[in-house]
Amino acid sequence: MNKLAKFASCIVVITLSGSVFAQSDIQNSALETVIAGTDAQFAPALSGALDQGRESTFPAPSRPDTGTRKMILLWDITDQCISQYDVVSAYPALYDIIPNEENFRVIKVFRFTDGKGDERRIEVYYTGGDWMQYGLVYFGINAGQNKNQANAYFIGDLSTPDREEGSVAPKIDPFDTQQLADFIVADFLEPDGSVKAAFGIIATAPASVK
Distance (Å, rounded) from C-alpha 8 to C-alpha 4? 6
Nearest to 99 by CA among 207, 209, 206, 203: 203
pLDDT at 73: 84
pLDDT at 85: 87
Work out the number of other CB atoms within 10 angstroms of the CB of residue 9: 18
Torsion from C-alpha of 97, 91, 192, 127, nearest 10 degrees: -60
pLDDT, tens digit, 9 for 90 and up, residues 129-158? 999 999 999 999 997 667 789 999 999 999
What string of pLDDT tens digits covers the 210 residues of the chain? 544 344 334 334 444 433 333 334 444 444 554 545 444 333 333 343 344 333 333 434 434 344 444 568 899 999 999 998 899 999 999 999 998 998 999 999 999 998 888 899 999 999 999 999 999 999 999 976 677 899 999 999 999 999 999 999 999 999 999 999 999 999 999 999 999 999 999 999 988 754
Helix, strand counts (H, E) of the chain: 5, 10
pLDDT at 127: 96
- The domain in which residue 170 lies consists of 3-206
At residue 58, the 3 state secondary structure works out as strand
pLDDT at 148: 82
Q: How many domains does the chain have?
A: 1
